[in-house]
Amino acid sequence: MKKSNFIYLIIGFSLALLVMSILSIISYKRLTSFILFSDQIEHTFKVLDVVERVGSSAREAESSLRGYVLTRDSTYLTPLFLAHTTLPPMLDSLAVLVREDKMQLMRLSLLRHNLNLRLKVLESTIPMVNDGTYDSVLVDKMASGRRLMEDFKGVLNQMTAAEKKLLASRFTQKEMYQQMTPYAFRQVFIVVGLVCLLLFILLLRELFERIKSQNALQQQVMALKQSYAELAQLAFAASHDLQEPVRKIRMFTDRVIIKQKNKLDNEGQMLLGRLDASASRLQGMLEDISDFMTLIDSSEEKELVSINKIIEEVIDLFDAELHSKLAKINISPLPVLEVYPSQVRALFRAMFDNSLKFAHPQRPPQIDVTSRYLEEKEVDAFLQPHLSKAYLAITISDNGIGFDNRFSEKIFQLFRRLHPNDTYTGKGIGLAICQRVMANHNGFIAAEGLPDQGASFTLFFPKG
């Protein structure tokens, strides 16, 4: 998948998620409002029910006294006596229901006051009826009771009217949200469906392109495998089959030099010498190719080994040359790594051989080996596409003749030389071997140099 297409897919999914979140929040708020107004409507119905029951109880109490006056039957007084126990809890529950409405609380307080006065008037009439004095004050009592009842009914009607007005408003809002909520959900499903369909089409297209790319890549891999097999056969022939003719050339050249030396003039002896030297160099190059191919097809198992110990073994191989050149090697403590021991040994052998071979003629060689751990962001500077997140960097630096950094990558090519044979010996394969060894360890090598000041080679071993 192309990076740009991948970015577009991420943006698409992000926008889809954002739209889904916004629409979901809107739908949730509308659904919450719908539920809230439904609860408020139910609450209003409760208030109206309590108000209706209070009015009904008050009317029953008043009617009960009229029945008693007419019949003198005390059973008619039961609703009046019950009003003392039934009405206060109703009023209290009504106070709880309208506690957030100040106007209704004020009306409720006035209603409670009028109701208490009305009950007192009704109760004060009972003794008069029993004593036979009720008729003398009938007009006054009836007028007083009528006023109190009218006030009571007026307050009761005000409360009822306020609740019905509030009920109508809440019904309107509920119906609005009831209609809007399904619409909002439909919008969510439509938008999300369209976005998901678009993303599915993009993913499907990318999938087909990826399958196509994988098929092309598989064909390329098969072609590369075939090319590799052919190159491996060629390299095997170069490193084995061609060595026999070269050995014979050297053998016959040696015989001519030994047996016909006195018969050849100076020019003939010089030409035979050059022929032998070229044959010797060719033989060495073929051996190096064989060694290089061994690294590619190596079946060696990795082991946990001390890098310091490997370096000590390699230094012993250069003991005579180190003494003759008065060379000094400084080695910092290095960790234990899981590596291919023989390959790492060949790696450091090539590194030290390179530093000693290209030593500065005017000063004794000095080689420093140090190490440090690097994070991925520090390795990015080397522009190497590797998967590891951390590396152990082992740096081998020297004070030799160095090189121009323009050639920092070319020096790792097979048989690539920066200096002529008559100035510095070597076949140009040592650094290529080093690069191959690092590739086998899923790492890499980088080089830096300054002419006449020295060079440094950093080996990046993946950590973990």
Average pLDDT over every residue of 212-235: 75
Interatomic CA distance for residues 176 and 315, integer angstroms: 90
Q: For residue 163, is pLDDT > 80?
A: no
Query: Per-residue pLDDT tens for 109-120?
Result: 877 777 777 777
Would the pLDDT of 259 be above 80? no
Q: Please give the pLDDT value at position 395.
A: 92
Can you give the pLDDT at residue 310? Answer: 92
Cβ-based burial of 61 (10 A; exposed 0-12, middle 13-18, buried ≥19)? buried
Enter the tokens of residue 409. 């990558």
- Three-state DSSP at 71 gives helix
Distance between CA 5 and CA 243 in Å, rounded? 54
Query: What average pLDDT score do residues 180-186 get?
Result: 65
Q: Are strands 454-462 and 444-450 parallel, antiparallel or unpaired?
A: antiparallel
Residue 6 — pLDDT band, cuts 50, 70, 90?
A: low
* Residue 134 confidence class, pLDDT cut points 50, 70, 90: low
What is the crossing angle of helices 138-236 and 102-131, to 10°?
Answer: 150
| Cβ partners under 8 Å of residue 275, min gap 6 | 249, 253
Q: List for the chain the helix, strand, coil content (%; round to 5).
A: 75, 10, 15
Tokens of 272: 């035979």
Burial of 446 (0-12, 13-18, 19+ CB in 10 A): buried
Q: pLDDT at position 416, please? A: 61
CB under 8 A, 24+ apart: contacts of 37-40: 37/170, 37/173, 37/174, 37/177, 38/174, 40/170
The secondary structure of residue 400, as a DSSP letter, is S
Tally of CB atoms within 10 A around 12: 16
Average pLDDT, the chain: 75
Per-residue pLDDT at 422: 52
Residue-wise pLDDT for 7-46, tens only, equals: 766 776 677 677 777 767 776 776 676 677 677 777 778 8
CB 16 within 8 A of CB 195: yes
Residue 332, Cα to own-chain centre: how many angstroms? 38
Q: Identify the pLDDT of residue 240.
A: 63
Task: Give the model's pLDDT for residue 383.
Answer: 46
pLDDT of 423 > 70? The answer is no
Per-residue pLDDT band for 177 (boundaries 50, 70, 90) equals: low
Decide if domain 301-462 falls under CATH 3.20.20.70. no
* Most trustworthy range by pLDDT among 145-149, 269-273, 399-403, 454-458: 454-458
Say what the pLDDT of residue 397 is: 92
Tell me the pLDDT band of 159, cut-offs 50, 70 and 90: confident
Looking at the predicted structure, is the pLDDT value of residue 139 above 80?
no
Using only C-alpha atoms, what is the Rg of the chain?
A: 53
- pLDDT reported for residue 55: 77
